[in-house]
Amino acid sequence: MRRVGGRLLRWWRQLTAMRTALILLFLLAVAAIPGSLLPQRSLSQSNVTRYFADHPTLAPVLDKLYLFGVFSSPWFAAIYLLLFISLIGCVLPRAAEHARNLLSSPPAAPRHLQQLPESTELTASLPPVAALDVVEEELRVKRFRVVRREGRAGPELSAEKGYLRETGNLLFHLSLLALLLGLAGGKLWGYEGSILVTEGGGFCNSFQQYDTYSAGPLVSQSDLTPLCVDLTDFRAEYEANGTAASFTADLDYGLAGAAMRATTIGVNHPLRVDGDRVYVTGHGFSPSFTVVLPDGRSFDDVSAPFLPTETATMASEGALKLPDLGAGATDQLALQGFFAPTGLLQGSVLVSTDPRPLNPQVAIFVYRGYLGLDSGLPQSVYSLDQTQIDRDQLTKVGTANLSVGESTTLDDGTVVTFSGLKEFAALQLSHDPGQGWVLAAAISLLVGLLGMLLVRRERVFARVGPAPDGGGTVLSIGSLTRGSADTAPRFTALTDQVRTALADRNRTSAPDAAAPSARGGAPEKEIPSS
């Protein structure tokens, strides 16, 4: 039992050693590297899918090692958890010791002052205690905490300042812990959902409505604020050279059932309500079509968002599905194609030359047949199911390049008209209860860091004794500084000041040099001060 305890203690010591922290820090940095070189699911599922297609043998192996989700992998978590346990293990004892240090007086002077990084000896004709008084005065002016003791080799003095350095150090390391807790809280209780909303449309905050969403393990549907958002208008503005200048979305928002309020959001300006934020993360066009069947039934201005494939020109691709052509119709209709806000025909190929809708055109294929929507397999709303086309369940019944207002007539007399376009915005609703904590922790981390790096902790020790030849006093001073490299000039300045003060005092007190100094009576008593 004791042996086990001893071994545990040794492990604990090792884990909380600075060297271990250093190695764990390196491991953390190295572990992050694959996360930036390989596609990550959290960033782009489609890049991961492409990687699987390009590297069919390698990808599954990498996947087993969690390399497509490095930052949520168990081994990444293991490293930072170990690091933070190590951090707790070293910070808490240090905090306790620092508290004790703040309450007690500076440590006793080391036996051999000459072994300190900076040290010197001065001679004075003052009596020993008076010489030490002079040193104390100089140090107090410099805001040192000073204590005097009666040492084995004579009266001595210890002085210290720069406690903020250690306070900053502790604040920094504790803030790292707080930061991790904030991050973890945000991951557990946070969620985000994305949805494409066409002008005139809207959504309410629920997982069923989002196109994609991700939520922490402790989030349940009932935790979602019942916020609803309607997109009334979307505008994209461009500079003359085609650089995107601004994207703005006019919204109405409010809690379900309550009054709606209007606001405008845009890039860098989300909507913030009570812990929920709504962002515009993208935009695009929804071309609309009017379909008139041979029997006169018509579907007016039906539209679907086409996803931009090229942000510079907003060339987009998408599909419009008409699964229900009305009572009695067995066939379904769909069109799939390419949208160009500013179209230009190069030969027979339509390309886009400008992101603004200056001359909107579409190039479409029209299909008739069975879309397979109720087959049970999920289908993208942005494209047709290629297997239905391959199986001849869907047959191409027309192709056309259309400008707004133009139409094409199918073999059976159905007329498809490109009737106009609307803009859509990609909206994202995010909820992260941890982020306020993380911000506070980051700020206190920075404050602690500044304290730790800018403040230097200085200790000065002095001891006096009679000169060997009997005439006067030998004053030894030494100092130990943590933090700054340039200790020599500071120490020289201090000793110069002491030397000058000793000389001054010598002159003014020369007549009664023999009289005992005020403090001389009780040198063994400690006189701590703040």
Partner 1 sequence: MIDPSLAALSDNLFSVAVVLYSLAVVAFCAELAFGNWPARSRELVAVGAGAPTVVQPGALDGPPAESPGARRLGGVAMALTVLGGVAHAAVLVTRGMAADRLPWGNMYEFATAVVLVAVVAYTVLALRAPVLRHIGAFVLGPVVLAMVLIGLFLYASAGPLVAALRSWWLGVHVTTAILGFGIFFVSGIASVLYLLRSRYEQKAAAGLAPSSSLLARLPSAAALDRTAHRTAVFGFPIWTFAVIAGAIWAESAWGRFWGWDPKETWAFIAWVVYAAYLHARTTAGWRGRPSAWVNVVGLAVMVFNLLYVNMVSTGLHSYAGVN
Residues that bind ligand HEM (CB under 6 A): 16, 18, 21, 25, 83, 86-87, 90, 169, 173, 176, 452-453, 482
Asked if 54 touches partner 1 (CB under 8 A), the answer is no
3 state DSSP class of 64: helix
Asked if 432 touches partner 1 (CB under 8 A), the answer is yes
- How far apart (Å, rounded) are the C-alpha atoms in residues 308 and 339? 9
244-255, strands of its sheet edge to edge: 202-204, 227-238, 244-255, 261-266
- How far apart (Å, rounded) are the C-alpha atoms in residues 154 and 151? 5
- How far apart (Å, rounded) are the C-alpha atoms in residues 389 and 408? 21
Nearer to ligand HEM, 322 or 452 (CB): 452
Residue identified by tokens 């199986």 is: 391
Q: Of the candidates 181, 261, 201, which has an alpha carbon nearest to the alpha carbon of residue 424?
A: 201
Nearer to partner 1, 308 or 337 (CB): 308
Say which entry of partner 1, ligand HEM, none residue 61 contacts (CB below 5 to 8 A, set by partner kind): none
Look up residue 305 and give its DSSP letter. P
Residue identified by tokens 């009054």 is: 259
Q: How far is the CB of 65 from partner 1 (least distance, A)?
A: 17
Interface pattern 331-360 for partner 1 (x via CB under 8 A): ------------------------------
- How far apart (Å, rounded) are the C-alpha atoms in residues 439 and 105? 36
Q: How far is the CB of 160 from ligand HEM (least distance, A)?
A: 15
CA distances from 230 to 189, 251, 281, 284, 427 (A): 26, 6, 16, 17, 11
Asked if 450 touches partner 1 (CB under 8 A), the answer is yes
Asked if 29 touches partner 1 (CB under 8 A), the answer is yes
Say which entry of ligand HEM, partner 1, none residue 87 contacts (CB below 5 to 8 A, set by partner kind): ligand HEM
Contact 334, 371 (CB under 8 A): yes
- How far apart (Å, rounded) are the C-alpha atoms in residues 305 and 286? 4
Q: Of the candidates 163, 209, 140, which has an alpha carbon nearest to the alpha carbon of residue 429?
A: 209
Tell me the residue type at 315: A
Say which entry of partner 1, ligand HEM, none residue 407 contacts (CB below 5 to 8 A, set by partner kind): none
Asked if 189 touches partner 1 (CB under 8 A), the answer is no
Nearer to ligand HEM, 93 or 436 (CB): 93
Tell me the residue type at 55: H
3-state secondary structure 399-457: EEEEECCCEEECCCCCEEEEEEEEEEEEEEEEECCCHHHHHHHHHHHHHHHHHHHHCCE
Q: How far is the CB of 75 from ligand HEM (least distance, A)?
A: 18
Nearer to partner 1, 214 or 375 (CB): 214
Say which entry of partner 1, ligand HEM, none residue 361 contacts (CB below 5 to 8 A, set by partner kind): none
Say which entry of partner 1, ligand HEM, none residue 258 contacts (CB below 5 to 8 A, set by partner kind): none
Q: How far is the CB of 147 from ligand HEM (least distance, A)?
A: 23
Q: How far is the CB of 205 from ligand HEM (least distance, A)?
A: 36
Nearer to partner 1, 281 or 403 (CB): 281
Phi, psi of 412, deg, nearest 5: -90, 5
Identify the residue among 46, 241, 348, 530 touching partner 1 (CB under 8 A): 241
Say which entry of partner 1, ligand HEM, none residue 457 contacts (CB below 5 to 8 A, set by partner kind): none
- How far apart (Å, rounded) are the C-alpha atoms in residues 317 and 306? 5
Identify the residue among 8, 10, 11, 33 touching partner 1 (CB under 8 A): 33
Report the interface residues with partner 1, using CB under 8 A: 18-19, 21-22, 25-26, 28-29, 32-33, 35-37, 40, 42-43, 70-71, 183, 192, 239-241, 243-247, 266-270, 277, 279, 281, 428, 430, 432, 435, 438-439, 442-443, 445-446, 449-450, 453, 485, 488
